[in-house]
Amino acid sequence: MSAGADGVELRRAELAEAWRDPPGLWGFLVTVDHKRLAARYIVTTMFLLFLAGLLAMDMRIQLSAPGLHRMGPQLYNESFSLHGSTMLFLVSVPVMEAMALWLVPLMLGQRNMAFPRLAAFSYWLYLGGALMLWVPHALDITPDLGWFEYPPLSGPGYAPGHRVDIWAQMITFTEVAALAASVNIIATILKLRPPGMTLARMPLFLWAMLIASLMTIFALPAIMLTTSMLIADRLVATHFFSPSGGGDVLLFQHLYWFFGHPEVYIIFIPAVGFVSSIVETFSRRPIFGYPAMVLSVLAIGVLAFGLWVHHMFAVGLPRLGNDFYTAASMTIALPAGVQIFCWIATIFSGRPRMATPLLWVVGFLVTFVIGGMSGIMTASAPLDLQLTDTYFVVAHFHYVLVGGAIFPLLGAFCYWYPKATGRLMSERLGVLAFALIVGGFNIGFFPMHVLGLWGMPRRVYTYPAEMGWGPLNMLATIGSTIAVIGGLVFVANALWSYWRGERAGADPWGGHTLEWLCPSPPPSYNFDSTPTVRSITPLWEPELLAYDGIATTKRELLVTSVMEAEPIYRQNSVGPSIWPLVAAVAVSILFVGSIFTPWALVWGALPIAITLSLWFWPTRERAKTGPLRKR
Amino acid sequence: MMNDRAEPRIIGDLSGLPESAQGPDHLVWWGNIGFMLIEGTGFALALGAYLFLASRSAHWPPPDDPLPGLMWSGILTIGLMLSEVPNLWVKRRAAAHDAGSVRIGVVIMTVIGLVLLVVRGFEIAVLVPSWNHDAYGSMVWLLLVLHTSHILTDCGDTFVQALWLYTHEIGDDQFADVEDNADYWTFVVVAWLPLYAVVYWLPRLA
Amino acid sequence: MGGTGSMRRGAALVPVMLLVGACSGVQSPLAPAGEQAADQLWLFQLMLWVCGILYLLVVGFLGLALVRVFRNTSRLAEPELAPADRTLDRSLLVWASIIIAGLTLLAGASFVVDRALAAAQAREALRVRVTAHQWWWRIAYRDPASGRWVETANELHLPAGRTARIELASADVIHSFWVPNVAGKMDVIPGRANAIDVTPHRLGWFRGQCAEFCGVQHAKMAFDVKVDTPAEFAAWLATQARSAAAPADPVAARGFQIVTQGQCAMCHVVRGTAAAGRPGPDLTHIASRRSIAAGILSMNRGNLQGWIAQPQALKPGTMMPAVTLEPGDADAVAHYLEQLK
């Protein structure tokens, strides 16, 4: 820990050595560097977004005129099933987790996540899930009953073969990966905060990830349970969902939506965190109404668990229940509305300047709120009886998911791209991509509200000419095409800027959170020293203070207390390891095998047990005493 | 631009901090808690599913299904509760960094786990409606299999831990691991109690 | 709620008129032909106004904020660390109050409409049994004369001004019964006895469609709905209750023979003949219907023949098997079926 310029260089060299990965392919397979893992996670999700987008274009072309025969019903049904399943299980939730994986340690001034190998395991298992869905597609056994395959249609009586099992098990993969990521994020945010960053001084993005991760823990077991029950009904003749055996098909729906509704907020809340970060930086002031913002996200996180029946208003449940869920579903508009006010108020009362990230925030506001409005409409049980299962609700959920999650995500890409790569994305291409995507999306999806009101149900591969739905469908196709072109422009911008973009320093936007302290791109060890914070806007303080003392010659993390972020101890941080990959392979074998036979649970458990034991095998010296001592 | 920022000013040195901690101070404790929350939610939802199906049936268990037997389940339940005594003892010894007691204690817990697994095996063997007979059978088997998987994996964990403790010098982090494992066993015991009450007693009282 | 319906229907129709423009209007909640749909449309219009105002407030505020953005130079301003936010604090409270007021109004209106929908149950004057199959609708009425249940398929007739209780059952998977002009949808769930009350008040032909994904031909599981005067309805029902007309000529007799003694009889009922198969739709009065194959083909001779010969080409995945007949036989069958009015 020597002072002076030489001291700084020595320190950095030591840190680089301690935190480096082995070179080449082996390094790629064993790395536990959160930035590298997050990068591949994001690239994978974006590739799957592209594939899901191709499916969407296929469907849009098929629907652009009545009675087209370009796609038959089987192919169309596979397309919407694959599109929905990919977007919800393989893109939306994973990309938010991936962004958190990249950003959380940086925003905390830390060198890595709490459980580095768990982060790697999460990625490999997620990749397994992506393969679980798309390899069967290449083999023409694509799941074809939607993204929430209700029994009995998905039960043993009406869905022979293994398509449903493939779908259900893909969910198991991705949900275990998501749960692993969530535990990691929660432990990191609660225990690895820099000294002085009390909960009340935490950036809103970290609040958002904390709450989204907690929601994940309580929501995802529901879908794992229900899809496992579905596989059991199909594989070993249980009767969970068969009425003739005393089961109930509604049990599937209740469990599914108990997960399904929080799931969309699990996607939305991190996006809310992106928006807050961007708004603060570009308004040059801390967010207006920080306590209201925190309470709003908490309220949304809690309320989200009390709404699921609004996906089942047409099922014939008792009226009083429907009334309750109408009121609850409308109530969630209040914290959402408060947040929207606070963001706009921040821009209004700050010293704002425009750049692409803020442009995406504007796109988010004008688009997502439309989705919020259609959400209020579908929240009403009696009105929903007309709107549900039509293109109105297709419009609604695309508005909230694309407007509420994808637009903030694209803004977040533009915002943190310079930190990750050391270069700025092109503003000109950025504005063009924005205009094409936001404009194209609205042209494409607004007409769908009208189509639903004109009686067009969802999940139909064609429709009769005499219904008059043709022109608006054609408009929807045109708009979607424009948006896709915009997406390609965005990707082109990202690729071009990687090599040719204007160089960015550590803090091109003048942000106030800790990630802007380290160089762009960050070195493997992120920070030279341990920053400490005294306010909600550390980098806007006149002077930044830091602690020394965390080891530079080995991997070490500072662990602090949950509430006050006082330093407690120094935790050894694990280095590169092959075990996450091996464990993921072992788990994948069990998951895939259990589609075909329940015995897979037995023989598949053995490799997992061995792998996990080796993973967690502590590396200390051999015992010097006792019957098994080193002799 | 903010790019040319001065290096932060060093105001202290943290190298004097200890290298481990106990209980909630320790980082890994939180991972353990997270896992318990996940599994606990799973149990709660499975229990909810059981109660949902029960509420939709006129008779529960259905008329041709007998009530589940109390003998083996009772032995198991009492056995689980009694196992908390050595379990909490191991945890205290681990907190005190008593290597000798911890080694023996973890072996004892492994043996207890195996014995209870055998008892659970009998409990399942005498379950009359099989999982494919009707929804009642499916649900009871689901709850029991879910819980059994926890006894099994915890037993495996404890065995591996015992092996490791005997072959290596034990550091602070490993004592913390023993405590976490003991906490997880407590979770397995506590999670069983509402399942036991609902599956074995609720139909008898209703 | 019924009497004040016209007043509510008249209110605030401007935004709706714009929307009704290009569509056919026979499968749309925007052109109510029933009490339930009228109440739902009223609620929708109220929501459109409230949500529209809220949206304009948001966009307006955003616009004001953006004016500030574009007035700024591109120079990176010094951040303001402790801004005074008193006016904004008060505005937030006002905004929250507006939201609460708006949501309360909409939730209240929603409850009111919900009660109105529920009140229909007290006025039930007719029972109809609808059984959903993959991918067609079995529809049954009780014949007042004989007390027996009379079956037809894919065409629902209802008397105007009367409340009908539609009892829903599924023969296989989950479907959803939806006639948007008349009422909202109700899922048809195996193992569950759902029902929906509908009170049509406008005469004419409408279209219903399955609204829950039910397999490969979910897209082509529609049905025609005719709202008759009570007298017309009674007459129609009386006709449907009769057994099948006997073949009127030798060609029809040949067709009769093939239909009632060949493979058709395994799946179809023609009442009064030997054909008594249950898996498929009742054909006793098929020629009286407007369409065949669950609302996707007009009822005419060409379509009948095409459907019989190549159902997979018209509705891939359908349960109807391709029936290969000599051209003369095919003509005869179509000729016979055309007579089953």
A312 touches chain B (CB under 8 A): no
Q: For A114-136, what is the mean pLDDT?
A: 97
Given C71, C105, C120, the domain boundary residue is C120
A106 and A165 share one domain: yes
| pLDDT for C2 | 40
Cis bond before residue A521 (omega within 30° of 0): yes
Tell me the pLDDT band of A186, cut-offs 50, 70 and 90. Answer: very high
Please give the average per-residue pLDDT across C300-304, as a whole number. 93
What integer best gives the mean pLDDT of chain A?
95
Distance of alpha carbon C149 from alpha carbon A428, whole angstroms = 71
Rounded mean pLDDT, A460-486:
96
User: A251 and B52: CB-CB below 8 Å?
Assistant: yes
Same domain, A568 and A589: no
In whole angstroms, give the CA distance from residue A435 to residue A360.
10
What are chain A's partners, defined as 3 or more CB pairs within 8 angstroms? B, C
Phi, psi of C176 (to 5 degrees): -145, 130
Minimum Cα–Cα distance from A362: chain C residue:
C62
pLDDT score, position B107? 96
Contact list in C for residue A459 (CB cut-off 8 A) is 213, 218-219
Domain range spanning residue C204?
A: 125-241
Q: Which of A163, A325, A348 to mutate to test the interface with C (most CBs of C within 10 A)?
A: A348
C91 with C41, same domain? yes
Interface of A with B in 261-290 (CB under 8 A): none
Chains near B with 3+ CB pairs less than 8 A apart are: A
What distance in Å separates the CA atoms of residue A427 and residue A414, rounded to the nearest whole number? 9
**Domain CATH code at residue C303:** 2.60.40.420
CATH code of the domain occupying B25-205: 1.20.120.80
Q: Give the per-residue pLDDT at C10.
A: 46
**Do C237 and C266 fall into the same domain?**
no
Radius of gyration in angstroms for the set of CA atoms belonging to chain A, rounded to a whole number: 25
A522 with A109: CB under 8 angstroms? no
Report the relative pairing of strands C222-228 and C155-159 from DSSP bridges.
Answer: parallel
pLDDT at C8 over 50: no
Average pLDDT, chain C: 91
**What is the pLDDT, as a whole number, of residue C21?**
58
In contact, A288 and A346? CB cutoff 8 Å: yes
- The answer, yes or no, to whether residue C15 has pLDDT greater than 60, is no
Paired with C225 in beta bridges are: C156, C206
CA dist A168 and A133 (Å) reads 10
pLDDT of residue A1: 46
Nearest CA-CA distance, residue B103 and chain A, Å:
9
Q: Which of B171, B156, B45 is nearest to B99 (CA)?
A: B171
Q: Let me know: does A228 contact A194? Beta carbons within 8 Å.
A: no
Q: Can you tell me the distance from the alpha carbon of A273 to that of A268, in angstroms, rounded to the nearest whole number? A: 9
User: Which residue has better confidence, C70 or C318?
Assistant: C318
In angstroms, the CA B21 to CA C279 distance is: 71
- Tens of pLDDT, residues A409-431: 999 999 999 999 999 999 999 99
Cα A47–Cα A49–Cα A51 angle in degrees, nearest 5: 75
Is the pTM higher than 0.80? The answer reads yes
Residues 612-631 of A with CB under 8 A from B: 613, 616-618, 620-624, 626-630
pLDDT at C294 over 90: yes
Q: Is the pLDDT of residue A515 over 60?
A: yes
Q: How confident is the model at residue A2 (pLDDT cuts 50, 70, 90)?
A: very low
Mutation pick from C30, C58, C217 vs chain A, by most beta carbons of A within 10 Å, is C58
Assign C141 to helix, strand or coil.
strand
With respect to residue A130, please indicate whether it lies within any of the assigned structural domains. yes
Based on the fold, state whether residues C134 and C217 are members of the same structural domain.
yes
Which helix (H) or strand (E) segment holds residue C167: the answer is strand C163-170
Nearest CB to C184 within list A326, A386, A457: A386
Q: Residue A620's pLDDT is what?
A: 77
Query: DSSP code of A457?
Result: B
Measured between CB atoms, does A389 come within 8 Å of chain B?
no
Query: Over the stretch A76-87, which tens digit does the pLDDT of each residue have?
Result: 999 999 999 999
- Give the mean pLDDT of C296-304: 94
pLDDT of B11 above 90: yes
pLDDT tens readout for residues A30-59: 999 999 999 999 999 999 999 999 999 999
Test mutation, B38, B55, B130, B155, chain A, max A CBs within 10 A: B38
Residue C121 has pLDDT above 60, yes or no: yes
**pLDDT computed for residue C13 by the predictor:** 54
Buried b (16+ CB within 10 A) or exposed e, C305-334: bbbbbebeebbebbebeebebeeebbbbbb
Residues A564 and A610 in one domain: no
Residue (of A454, A126, A104) closest to C207 by Cα position: A454
Spatial separation of the C-alpha atoms in residues C297 and A430, rounded to whole Å: 50
CA-based R_g, chain C, Å = 27
Residue C11 pLDDT class (50, 70, 90 cuts): very low
What does the pLDDT average to over B3-19?
86
Query: What are the beta bridge partners of residue B125?
Result: none
Residues of C in contact with A537 (CB under 8 A): 79, 81
Same domain, A94 and A167: yes
- A573 and A588: one domain? no
C173: chain A residues, CB-CB within 8 Å: 150, 152-153, 158
pLDDT confidence of residue C75: 58
Of the pLDDT bands very low, low, confident and very high (cuts 50, 70, 90), residue B6 is: confident
Measure the CA–CA gap between A83 and A63, rounded to whole angstroms: 15
Token reading at A310:
């609004």
Section A517-543 average pLDDT:
94
- Is residue A625, in this structure, part of any structural domain at all? no
Q: What is the mean pLDDT of chain B?
A: 94
Same domain membership, residue A224 and residue A100: yes
CA-nearest of C165, C169, C80 to C126 is: C165
- Closest residue on chain B to A561 (Cα): B25
Q: Are residues A518 and A601 in the same domain?
A: no
- Residue C84: predicted pLDDT: 74
Burial of residue A528 (CB within 10 Å: 0-12, 13-18, 19+) is buried
Supply the angle between the helices A163-191 and A204-235 in degrees, to the nearest 10.
150
Number of domains observed in the structure of chain C: 3
Do A122 and A98 form a contact (C-beta atoms < 8 A)? no
Would you tell me how many other CB atoms lie within 10 Å of the CB of residue C75?
A: 8
In the block, which residue shows the tokens 């009696």? A382
**Among the listed residues A531, A532, A573, A574, the one whose alpha carbon sits nearest the alpha carbon of residue A556:** A573
- The token pair at A23 is 């070179």
Alpha-carbon distance A121 to A110, whole Å?
Answer: 20
Which distant-in-sequence residues (6+ apart) come within 8 Å of A276 by Cβ?
A203, A204, A205, A208, A287, A293, A343
DSSP A201: G
The share of chain B scoring above pLDDT 90, in percent, equals 90
Report whether A570 contacts A559 (CB < 8 A): yes
Interface membership of C91 toward A (CB under 8 Å): yes
Cβ-based neighbours of A488, under 8 Å, separated by 6 or more = none
8 Å CB contact between B61 and B203: yes
CA distance A432 to A329: 36
Q: Do the domain assignments include residue A101? A: yes
**Residue A2 sits at the chain C interface (C-beta within 8 Å):** no
Rounded Cα–Cα distance for residues C23 and C41 (Å): 16
Among C241, C260, C293, the domain-final residue is: C241
Instruction: Say what the ipTM of the complex is.
Output: 0.95
Say if residue C228 is in the same domain as residue C311: no
Which tops the pLDDT comparison, B2 or A509? A509
Same domain, residue pair C116 and C185: no
CB A266 within 8 A of CB A215: yes
The 10s digit of each residue's pLDDT in B110-154 is: 999 999 999 999 999 999 899 999 999 999 999 999 999 999 999
Q: In whole angstroms, give the CA distance from residue A530 to residue A192.
A: 11
Contact B134 A182 (CB under 8 A): no
DSSP A510: -
Residue C311, chain A, CB below 8 Å: the answer is: no
Last residue of a domain, one of C120, C149, C166: C120
Residue B10 with chain A: CB contacts under 8 Å: 529, 545-548
* Same-domain status, A201 and A104: yes
Q: Which residues of A touch B140 (CB under 8 A)?
A: none
pLDDT tens-place string over residues C220-229: 999 999 999 9
* Residue A622, pLDDT score: 82
State the alpha helices, DSSP H only, in chain C.
5-10, 14-20, 35-71, 86-119, 230-241, 250-261, 264-267, 301-309, 311-314, 327-338
- Shortest Cα distance, chain A CAs vs residue C158, angstroms: 20
Name the residue in chain A with its Cα closest to that of C15: A450
pLDDT of the residue at C114: 96
> Nearest Cα to A115, choosing from B35, B165, B18?
B35
pLDDT tens readout for residues A320-373: 899 999 999 999 999 999 999 999 999 999 888 899 999 999 999 999 999 999
For residues A589 and A490, membership in a common domain is answered with no
Overall average pLDDT of the B75-100 stretch: 96
Q: Say how far apart CA C212 and CA A313 lie, in whole Å.
A: 13
Confidence of residue C83 (pLDDT cuts 50, 70, 90): confident
A-B interface: how many C-beta pairs under 8 angstroms? 224
For residues A266 and A93, is the Cβ–Cβ distance under 8 A?
A: yes
- pLDDT for the residue numbered C48: 96
Among A52, A58, A19, A55, which residue's Cα sits nearest to residue A35?
A19
Q: How many domains does chain A have?
A: 2
pLDDT-derived band of residue C1, with 50, 70 and 90 as boundaries?
very low
Residue A24 and residue A132 share a domain: yes
Is there a contact between A561 and B25 (Cβ–Cβ < 8 Å)? yes
- Residues A64-109: pLDDT tens digits? 999 999 999 999 999 999 999 999 999 999 999 999 999 999 999 9
What mean pLDDT is predicted for residues A299-327? 95
Examine the domain organization and report whether A252 and A125 are in the same domain.
yes
Which of B6, B20, B42 is closest, CB to CB, to A569? Answer: B20
Q: Which chains touch C (3 or more CB pairs under 8 A)?
A: A
Displacement of CA A377 from its chain's centroid (Å): 26
- Predicted pLDDT of residue B134: 94
What CATH number has the domain bearing residue A230?
Answer: 1.20.210.10
Token pair for A398? 């695309």
**Mutation site, B25, B28, B45, B165, interface A, largest A CB count within 10 A:** B45
| Binding-face residues of C in 321-340 toward A, CB within 8 A | none
Residue C112 and residue C14 in one domain: yes
Question: Is the domain of A64 the same as that of A141?
Answer: yes
| pLDDT range class, residue C82, cuts 50, 70, 90 | confident
Are A81 and A144 spatial neighbours (Cβ–Cβ below 8 Å)? yes
Cβ-nearest to A248 among B20, B53, B62: B53
The alpha-carbon gap from A46 to the nearest alpha carbon of chain C, in Å, equals 29
Please give the residue range of the domain that contains residue A609.
581-618
Facing A288 at nearest CB: one of C26, C61, C88 = C88
Q: Would you say residue A4 has pLDDT above 80?
A: no
Residue C275 pLDDT more than 90? yes
Percent residues over pLDDT 90 in chain A: 93
* Domain spans of chain B, in order of start: 25-205
pLDDT of residue B149: 95
Residue A336 lies in a domain: no
